[in-house]
Structure 1
Amino acid sequence: MEIVTHTDRPELHEAAAVVFHERWPEFIFHDDVPKRYMGRVKEHFARYDVMVLDEGSVVAGGWGVPMAWDGTVDNLPSGYDDALVRAVDGREAGVEPTTLSIMAVAVSSSHDKRGMAGVVLEELARRAHRDGLAHVVAPLRPTWKHRYPMVSMTEYAGWTRRDGLSIDPWIRTHQRMGARVLRPAPRSMVIEGTVAEWESWADMMFPVTREYVVPGALNLVLIDRERDRGVYVEENLWVQHS
């Protein structure tokens, strides 16, 4: 196994994108905030954009952004989008970062259940500590939350197995590495589009105005046919690594 950054191996960008796209529903890629900020994220924070190679092929990857956080729950960003904004705007304003927010990790389906996600998380955490950042946090998108879209993240995060760990595989991965749950990220991502766009992204019909259960969505999606708008506000879960 070899760990490289996108700067080290830019020719692997497309292969890495395939790994990420196979793990998330299509609508996730239509959040307007990343569209505005990702170019500067890649420019400013290339050190925290890593890939794991197996015999030269991309099998896992992940990335994060350094941001200012005072260590209190009340000072956490509202979620994924807000963390992006805080990191980029802080960097450009000369604000000293204290924390790495791990934004996403993906593992190719060919390498499931081989500990690759842990390899990525550990590498990102190592880089953060090496750079003198005091904290490592992540706005998690729990793997099984989409099965319970009408359950709040607070309630879902409290569901445990007999061993005391979360019922959710992604939360458990972080718990086994020493992470603790801080609080829900209530407005982590906001995705808006026309009804036609949402029907395309979700591959389903929305014949009337109402909230819908959409495959892959952690919460309900509000469709307003009269206004020709669909709005999805995703709730994630903040955790902190020791």
Structure 2
Amino acid sequence: MRMEDLATRPDLRRPALGLGAVGGEFLGHDVVGLLAKSKRLAARWPEFFLVLLDDDVPVARAAAIPVEFPTPERPELPEHGWDGALLWAAEDVMDGRAPTTLVAIEVTVAEHARGRGLAAVMLSELRARARAAGLSRLVVPVRPTGLEQRPDESIVDYVTRKRPDGSFADPWLRTHERLGARLIGVAPFAMTVTGTLAQWREWTGVEFVDGLNTVPGGLAPVLASVARDLGVYVEPNVWLDHPL
């Protein structure tokens, strides 16, 4: 296998996108997520857009953005998690701030290649890239995949679930944990998606009723109002800090 990035192999951007996405289709309608379009990441930070090749075929990708953190105005990581990190990165570009921290915003492994430790390989490479760039840390707004099976459970309660050996019950959190990452906070509103009920039906195939509605690929329910023709999804993540 061989690791590449878009700085040297810009032609890999489209093939890497063919690996799919995490979560339900509706996550692609988080408006802040427009800042994370692959074309933008490739143009601004191609050295942090990684693609792992197996016989020249992409089997995993990872993307990260540099931000200035901590600062007097940013003493803690944002409660808005993934969205908040993207906004910080955009602010820093516009304000001309020098970054000090790398934030991993995506790690995706091809379905047929899962279970081979490739996600850990991508995270380790991001850590190496952060060190090489002179950054002080790598942080990740982690989306605990197992929470899809418990969307009515609070993120705080969920992350306290442990296996008999004391490790995280959630498999994706456990991958980070094995690499030495530590949990440093909760991002209760890491991603927010709003839409009409017709849009939500199109995105999920669910007929919505007033109140909380569980949707495929969601870590939390969608709060719907029939009278207002509105559905709101607020996804929680947790912040993990990787030692460099």
Bucket of the pairwise TM-score, normalised by the shorter protein: over 0.9
For 1:62-77, list aligned pairs within 5 A. 62-70=62-70, 75-77=76-78
SS of equivalent to 1:226: coil
**Does 1:165 pair with 2:164?**
no
Does the Cα contact within 8 Å between 1:7 and 1:46 map onto a contact in 2? yes
The 1-side partners of 2:71 and 2:102 are apart by 12
One-letter amino acid of the structure 2 residue matched with residue 66 of structure 1: P
The residue number in structure 2 matching 1:216 is 217
Does the Cα contact within 8 Å between 2:101 and 2:137 map onto a contact in 1? yes
Deviation (angstroms), 1:8:
2.9
Deviation (angstroms), 1:74:
5.1
Deviation (angstroms), 1:24:
2.5
Deviation (angstroms), 1:43:
2.2
The residue number in structure 2 matching 1:25 is 24
SS of equivalent to 2:125: helix
SS of equivalent to 2:18: helix
One-letter amino acid of the structure 2 residue matched with residue 194 of structure 1: T
145-154 vs 3-12, which moves further = 3-12
TM, length-normalised to structure 1: 0.94
SS of equivalent to 1:64: strand
Per-residue deviation, residues 104-145 of structure 1 (Å, max 9, x unmatched): 101001111111101111111101011111111000001101
**Among 69, 87, 90, the residue aligned to 1:88:** 90
Deviation (angstroms), 1:70:
1.5
The 1-side partners of 2:213 and 2:33 are apart by 24
For 1:89-104, list aligned pairs within 5 A. 89-104=91-106
Let me know the Cα RMSD of the aligned residues.
1.7
Deviation (angstroms), 1:40:
3.9
Per-residue deviation, residues 32-89 of structure 1 (Å, max 9, x unmatched): 0121453543322111000000001000010011111128995202210110010121
The residue number in structure 2 matching 1:57 is 57
**Among 200, 203, 218, the residue aligned to 1:201:** 203
The 2-side partners of 1:117 and 1:129 are apart by 19
Per-residue deviation, residues 131-171 of structure 1 (Å, max 9, x unmatched): 11111100000110111111111111111001111011100
Query: Structure 2 regions of 5+ residues with no counterpart?
Result: none
The 2-side partners of 1:20 and 1:93 are apart by 33
Deviation (angstroms), 1:20:
3.0
Does the Cα contact within 8 Å between 1:37 and 1:88 map onto a contact in 2? no
Deviation (angstroms), 1:184:
0.9
